Amino acid sequence: MSNQKDIKLAACFPGLIDVCETEDGQLLYLVCQNGEFLLLESAMVNGSEVMPPEKEHFPFLLPQAESVMEYINRDDAALYDDVIAYLKRFSALDDHQWAVVAHFVFLTYLHDHKDISYCPILLFHAVAERGKSRTGKSVSYLSYRGIHLSELREANILRYCENLNSMLFFDIMDVWKKAVQTRCEDLLLGRFEKGQKASRVLYPEKGAFRDMKHYEIYGPTIIVSNEQLHKILDTRCLPITMPNLPGSYENPHPEAAQELKARLTAWRGKHLHANLPEMEPLEAISGRLWDIAKSLFLVNSLLEVESDTLKDAIITIAGERSESNQDSIEGRLVAIIREITAEEALDRFVAINIKISTILKKLNEDRPADKQITPQWVGRKLKSMSIRHRTINGRSEIVLTTPEYQTLLDQYGFGGRNSINPTDTLPDKTAQIQYDTHVVGSGRVSEQTPAKKSAFISPEEKEIYLARLNELKQTGTMTRNEMEQLAQETLEQWRHDNDLPF
């Protein structure tokens, strides 16, 4: 071995299965060379000799070398079932949710496989005291190099990504708000896709080209949140809504996962260089959801377990996304385009042309004068949805081919089995919430305490408003009017952040 002063430290490099710890505390590289699994004190990477960093630089327990080598030489057909059994010790989910979580655990051990390009973010979402953090910790301790983070620090995250290729578990109440405050949005948004980099200017004094460093930021991610995520981050997630099933569960700790981690590390070693099958999108799963879910199905091809439960779970998520898309302002626009197309029988033509003024008229129906949406805003929104438009004789109109129209319907949950007849009515445009009586759309209120009415364009807005209102009620220090005012300010800020004009 070369002089240790000349040897670089490295915890990840192509072909490394993992850094393992022996019974006497020595750290060794586990690699596969010519079909043989070896434990090495050092390795040659790009012409340089490297060795593992000291144990203190790993913020997670390393797999035990002796156990890993034992399981590499054994068939482990019960591994998936044992992972499920381990997870169920710490929280309660339904079978479909467990399938997603268990496959995610296996994916963390193969996320750097040459045939895997995406890694979904696993999102545990619910109100307080539903076991989100406990579930996240149990998954983190079992995952490949899982690190539990209760804060967003850019410098730490970049180094965990670059130097350790870790699974990061963000246990933060409002992760997106915190990411905006710390300017870490690009780190969260880029984690799901292989090849994503974050660029930072570190050495301005060195001049052009030498002043920047580009960090690899791809890797498995878990988020727990009480608050709704930004819609762009949400598209990168597989959501797990925690059920309300209180019970007596164990508290997770890293040592409880050690034996299974050794077995999973051996499983990684057996399949890291395997060729994974080509896979076509499944019916009802498309777009980005298929991109991120495909990796779970590729992992499933290596397990001795049927894919039906996983398939049903992802189809359920697809259905929930379609409903959410319908409730968005973009979904409202697509619903209006669909209604006009049906009323005027435009789908019999090769191209569908609809005046923007016609769309605007329907969008502004029953809206108060001070809440009317402008043609300019509608034009920008349609353009952002990649809907082409043109101007003829001073009048703007959208232009859709039949395939483009069908794609829109499918993307926003109005196509296929979700189709409705042309005579079906559109969803309600507003919901009137009377908070003193907790009645939706009622015309009767207490004469002594007139209820304040607030109009929403979508159920998503109502959810944001009510969530903030309930949060403020728990303080017990404000009047009703003060709470409603603050809740309305939260809603207005959300509208501003999402470019909504009302």
HEC letters along 430-466: CCEEECCCCEECCCCCCCCCCCCEEECCCHHHHHHHH
pLDDT number for residue 368: 85
- The Cα 453–Cα 473 span in angstroms is 18
In a domain, 316, yes or no: no
Backbone angles phi, psi at 406, to 5 degrees: -65, -40
Together in a domain, 254 and 120: yes
Residue bearing the bigger pLDDT, 243 or 53:
53
Together in a domain, 301 and 341: no
pLDDT number for residue 39: 96
Together in a domain, 212 and 120: yes
- The Cα 39–Cα 63 span in angstroms is 13
Is it the case that residue 408 has pLDDT exceeding 50?
Answer: yes
Together in a domain, 98 and 197: yes
Together in a domain, 263 and 405: no
pLDDT number for residue 114: 95
Together in a domain, 439 and 414: no
Domain containing residue 84 = 79-310
| Domain total in the chain | 4
Strand pairing report for 212-216 and 197-201: antiparallel
Together in a domain, 18 and 87: no
Together in a domain, 35 and 125: no
Together in a domain, 102 and 8: no
DSSP class of 64: B
Q: Mention every residue, 6+ apart, whose C-beta is less than 8 A from residue 93.
A: 101, 135, 240, 242, 243
Which of 172-176, 391-395, 437-441, 488-492 has maximum average pLDDT? 172-176
In a domain, 379, yes or no: yes
In a domain, 64, yes or no: no
Domain containing 145 — which CATH number? 3.40.50.300
Say whether pTM exceeds 0.85.
Answer: no
Together in a domain, 213 and 184: yes
Q: Mention every residue, 6+ apart, whose C-beta is less than 8 A from residue 303.
A: 79, 80, 106
Domain boundary among 310, 340, 355: 310
In a domain, 66, yes or no: no
In a domain, 67, yes or no: no
- pLDDT-derived band at 449, boundaries 50, 70, 90: very low
Rounded percentage of the chain residues whose pLDDT exceeds 90: 45
Whose structure tokens read 């490949």? 144
- pLDDT-derived band at 51, boundaries 50, 70, 90: very high
Residue bearing the bigger pLDDT, 324 or 227:
227
In a domain, 502, yes or no: no
In a domain, 167, yes or no: yes
Amino acid letter, 335: A
Together in a domain, 128 and 271: yes
User: Looking at 157-171, 270-284, 444-458, 463-477, which range is the least confident one?
Assistant: 444-458
In a domain, 315, yes or no: no
Query: Mean pLDDT throughout 236-263?
Result: 90
DSSP class of 118: B
Together in a domain, 194 and 83: yes
- pLDDT-derived band at 262, boundaries 50, 70, 90: very high
